[in-house]
Every structure is written in C-alpha cells, then in structure tokens.
Chain A
Amino acid sequence: MQLTLSNRITKLLCGVAVAGLLPVSGALADDAKVITSWDLQTQERTVATIRDAADRFEAANPGFKVEDSHIANDAYKTKLKIAFGANEAPCVFTSWGGGPLREYIKAGKVTNLTPYLEKNKDFADRFLPASFSPAKYQGDIYGLPVMGTAVAVVIYNKDIFKKLNIEPPKTWTELMDVVKVLNENKIAPFALANKAKWPGSMFFVYLADRIGGPEVFQKAADREPGGSFEDPTFIKAGEMLQDLVKAGGFARGYNGLDYDIGGSRRLLYSGRAAMELMGSWEFGSIANENPEFAKNVGFFTFPAVEGGKGNPNNAIGTMGDNYISINADCPYQDAAFDLLKFSTDDRAAELKMEDNKILPIKNAKVEDPYLAGVMEAVGKAPSIQLWYDQELAPALAEVHKDTTQQLLGLSITPEEAAAKMEAVAKGLANK
C-alpha cells in the first residue's frame, strides 16, 4: 500500500514535470521570432491603429511576430518599472519621454535611435524637429513620437458663456473677471480633478511660463548658473494660483476628485462648472462620453499674464504624447526599429488622424475643427513646454506635484513651495 502510494506520487510528479516542459518544447518547435510590444492605449480604435502597424510589419518581415499588450495608464507605469527592474521588459515600449524615460536611458536600458534615423533620413525628416525633444538625452534620440500632439487648452461651455454674455478671456485680469461673473451666477469657473496631482499642475506650469518664459524653468531644471526653483517667477505663479483659489476659481472637491473616473468632466456636463484646463485629448473623451455636449464646447489658449515675459502663444504639452522606444536588451534590434517605422509612418499617421490624434509630422492635414484649432495654436507657439511632472527627474516631479496640490489646498505658501522644490533639486544635483 505504502509503496503503491509513493509510486503513484512519483508518477504524478513526473507527469507534472513533463507537462511543465511542454510549453518550452512547443516554443522551440515553432521558431517565430517574437517582438513584444507594450503601450498604454486601451481604447479600441487606438489599439486597432497599433495592431495595423504590427500586421504590416509582420507581413514585411516573415518569421517575426509582434505580441502587443495594452495596459491602463497608472498600472502601466508600475508594470514597466518592474519589468525593467527584473530584466523582463518588452522589446518595444512606449513612454511619455522626459524624466522617467531618462531614468531608463541612464540605466543603459534604451537603444539610441540616432544612428538608425541617420540611415533613414527621409523617414526621420518627416517629423517636426521639436517633436523629438522629450525623448532626447545628451543630443541623441531615444524615442519616436507615436501618439499625437497634445497641448493644454481651456475648454469651455459655449452656452454658459453666451447666456452670461462673457467672452473667452485673453488676459489673466479678464479671466479673473470671468471667474467673478460665473461665481455671481452660481456656476463654478473651473472643473478640476486633482487627485492624481498632474491636472492641477497645468495651471502652475502655464502661470510660470507666462510670467517668466520657458527659460526660467529650463535653467532651474538643468541647474544652470542663476537657475533656481526659488526664482521670483515660481513664487509669483504660486501666488496667482492661490489668488484663483481664493476667488472661488474651482468647483468643490477639486483636490480629491478623480480625473480617471470623469470627476471633472461630470461637472462640465451638468453645467455646474464652465471651464476646464486640460490636454487637448479631452475633446476626444468628451466626444466619446457625451457627443451631445461636445457640440457645445469651445476652447481658448491660456490667457496672457500682464507684464509677463513669456510669450502668450507659448503652449504646454507635448508634440508626441507618447514616445516609442526599443529596449537595449531586445535581441532583434533592427527588426524592432522596423516596427517603430511602421508605427509612425504615413499610413499610421493617417489612421491616427481618423482617431483624432495628430502625429507631429510635417504637412499633416487636419480636418476636425478642434484639432485644426489646436494645430494652429501649436504652429504659432514659439515654445512647447513638456509637462513639468514628465520633464523633471521623477523624485523632483513628485515634489512638484505635491507642492502644487498643497498650493491649491492653501496649506503652504508660495515661498515654502519654492524652497521645497529648490532643496530637493539641489539634493538630486549633488548626487
């Protein structure tokens, strides 16, 4: 009895071991070369455009297979970080460029695309030169813009503006007047869902850019002589942001609402709030969620600040939105670059346009009036500042988001916020 039982267990264990080996042998038999590709697009149409590029790549490269995974925004950041930490990262991946991508580049995890782009001059020259900047490190290019141009604009309810006889403000003073009129009519001026802290950061970034121009931030971020996060520009931006809060600029709950579940858009739809400062992708979200309301939506660029040094045409945002890069450990580097090409070629740009996303390539023809308006604003902009939370080194970006949320909560003074930023920036620079 004893013997037969242990016999049986042995057999069972052997069976399990054999079964465990099966997938391996299966993979060996079918020797397709697999290129894994991760991105953070989950909308059906957007995913279809990505798959279209993968299909065309597979057709052009027999023997290769693209395994694409699409992961939701916040989970994606974590998943990518863990995968790279464990050396299990995909061959091809997207990011926002800026600080986080530079962390991966510095760790030697990302392929330098400059030699490839030099070999493919015609392909590379189609892109607007400025569009590469978030994916650049020490002069080299590490990612291609893959999603579309997105800048922050003020979206507003045209009906409310018409009813109250107000015009889109061109200056900060005019904006404060609009805020007053709206409040008198019991309509909250701005809808803001700042739980994740980046939506509120947009106000601060625009104010700093309008007051001091993009150079002030660049000098502070690059630790150039004379550059400091305690520059009067940042303190003034904090003061003006708090003025807006004190004037009742935001709908109730702004520091706790969740953007991802529509916390701010709901306020717009219900007419409780009249405006929202948000990336231009918001048009797409509104059109998807509430097509009836979408007809009623207009937008204007962030108002000028009187006496500010920054050009009022400057925008904040990104020309690529997402950047597609190659993992330096990927065994099929050349094929991976080919996949990148298919993902950003003219056909891909065409499909993305149908999905309301404008790849930053020269001569993109835009028909949608909102997108055309955004592209016009982008065309006029002498500078496009990448969101601070994506541009800065991650540890500093966290401090920026924290202090901005505190500024909005009126629980910190602009001077204290600036001092905190500067202290952390100094600490990081000394490492």
Chain B
Amino acid sequence: MSDGSVQSMTLRSRQSYRRAQKLAPIVFLAPAIILLSVFLLYPLIYSFELSFLDWNGLGDGARFTGFDNWERLLSDAVFWQSALNNIYLAVFSVLIQLPIAVLLAVVLDEASKGSRILKILYFIPLLMSSVALGVLFKNIFDPNFGPINSILTELGLYDWTQDWLGDPDFALGSVIAVVCWQNVPFYMVLFLAALSSFPREIVEAANLDGASQSTIFWRLKLPHLQGTFRTAVLLAVIGSMRYFDLVYVMTDGGPEHSSEMMATYMYHTVFNSFEMGYGSTIASAMFIIITVIAAVSMRLSKRFETEI
C-alpha cells in the first residue's frame, strides 16, 4: 500500500488497518498451524502421554504407571542395542553412501555420452519398492542357494561364505549394505542437481590455467557441494535413525535382535507383544534421540563446512 493512500485514511480505518495487520499473520498461519497441531503436535504429545500407561492398545483397560515404562527402557538391553544399530546405520550411511554418491554425481556430470542411460541405471534401486528389494536380497543372501555364496564357492573361497542373514555377526552388515545400495541414487541426484548449477566457465578457466582434473574436483567442485553435503548428511542421519522398511522385510530385526532398529523394536512391542504403553515410550525416546542427534550433526556439519 502506498504512502498516499495511508495518509488519506481516516483514523478509524487506520485503526482497523492496524488490527488487520496484526491479525493477518495469524489468519495466514492458521491452516498450517492447525494441520501441524492435528497431524504432528497432537500425536507427539499423545504418544508421550501413552508412555506413562500400561495398555494393550485395546479398549479402556489402560493403567497409569508413572515412569515405569521409562525405567524399563533405561535398563532394556534390546532397546539400547537397537539404538546402537541405528547409529551404526547412520555412520555407515554417511561414510559409504555419500562418498559414492558424490563420485557417481561427478562422473555422470562429466560424462556427456551415454550418461543418460547410466543415470537411469543408477537410479533404479531407488524406484524399487523396499518390500520387493527385501525379498530379492533375501534370495541373494540365501546361504544355501544365494548367488553370493555360490560365487565365493566357485572362486575357491568357500571359507569366505557366510550365513549372511542368519548369523548375528553378519546380519546387520548385510542389511546396511543393502540400505546403502538402495539410497545412493537419492544422494547422487541431490549432488547432480547441485553440480548442474556449477558454472561451466569456472571449469573452463581452470582448464586454461592448467589445473588438473583432481584439482578441479577438490578445489572447486567439492567446496561448491558444501551446502548440499550438509543437507545430505542431515537427511542420511535422520533417515537412518528411523529406518524401518527394508530391515523389517529382510531380517525383522533378527536373528537375536542383532539387526534390530528402534523402529522395528517399537513395532514388535506394539503389535506383537500388545504393549502400547511401552511401544509409545520407545517412540518417544526415538523422538528425543533423533532430535538430539539431528542437532548435533547439524552443528558438526556446520563446523565441517567452515573448515573446508
């Protein structure tokens, strides 16, 4: 609104204008706030509320038990094992997925010919449903009929064959490998998008100055990816902390909870053990842990960024 029209207003209309100005943010924000409260805030508070109950999730038989569930959680070895597994998954996601994704993105960005086919090929894992992938990899890892052990045997490396999903020492590693394989394409696309905004002239200028490919990569392109990297780390960490689907299909957290994730453990307590209260405690603890870890990793990646 221009100055002139404001001055021409009467006192009264000016007052109502001010009131409207105060009201406007509330009106515009209301839909978002209502949506967030109904679908985010309320369930969040409700699940904290449930964590103080002993309830099977059916009917009215809920009993208030104070901090009993939380005490149980603190001494629940399976929960801490699962939290640790989530952390392993997060660390390996960042250490394995992101470097491979950056590498693929840079290579695909460089290669003009045939890169479209490669892009599609690399992107396929992300398009497959986790359930189909889980069944596929269950067969691939099958210790008796799966191709991995067959190939190892053919190569004369029988001693290297393993019970990939049935041995507690290998189940988590096998699952993490598949999770990484599935998610690399997502980060690759993220980095590809960032690289496409990288000015060609700079590369050309650097080439003229005689900079080697590796110099261009380390000195120019990688710094350019900083911001994307930070987003990617955050997404990978948060995604890993609440990972569920592929693990559920492949091992269901087993054997002996060796590949249990916090989310699969929560699922088991709520739906197999009928312990709605304790399951909600796990969910609430997950919320706290993820928030803390997200904050820490945001802080860390910021520091990492300033160091580069």
Contacts and interface: CB of A to CB of B under 8 A. Distances in A.
Interface in B142-183: 142-145, 163-168, 171
Interface residues of A, number: 41
A109 B254 CA distance: 32
A196 B272 CA distance: 12
Contact of A256 (B60, B254, B257): B254
A256 B252 CA distance: 9
Interface residues of B, number: 37
Interface string B267-286: 01011111110000000000
A420 to B, nearest CB: 11
Given A85-B57, A270-B145, A411-B256, A256 B272 contact: no
A103 B138 contact: no
A100 B61 CA distance: 15
Interface in A397-431: 397-398, 402, 405-406, 409, 411, 431
A395 B273 CA distance: 4
Contacts of A270: 144-145
Contacts of A228: none
B239 interface: no
Interface stretch (A58-66, A257-265, A299-307): A257-265
| Residue among A194, A253, A270 with the highest chain B CB neighbour number at 10 A | A253
B144 A255 contact: no
Contacts of A397: 272-273
Contacts of A197: 254
Interface stretch (A76-84, A140-148, A234-242): A76-84
A412 to B, nearest CB: 8
A170 B274 CA distance: 39
Nearest to B57: A85
Contact of A196 (B59, B60, B166, B252): B252
Nearest to A251: B144
B172 to A, nearest CB: 12
A127 interface: no
B144 A253 contact: yes
A431 B54 contact: yes
B138 A272 contact: no
Contacts of A107: 56, 58-61
A256 B135 contact: no
Contact of B272 (A104, A252, A398): A398
A393 B275 CA distance: 11
A254 interface: yes
Interface in A90-133: 100, 103-104, 106-109
B99 interface: no
B58 A409 contact: no
A256 B57 CA distance: 30
B166 A253 contact: yes
Nearest to A100: B274
A405 B141 CA distance: 20
A288 B145 CA distance: 21
A266 interface: yes
20 contacts: A77-B272, A78-B271, A81-B58, A103-B274, A107-B58, A108-B60, A109-B58, A195-B165, A251-B144, A252-B143, A252-B166, A253-B144, A253-B165, A255-B254, A256-B143, A263-B142, A267-B144, A270-B145, A394-B273, A409-B256
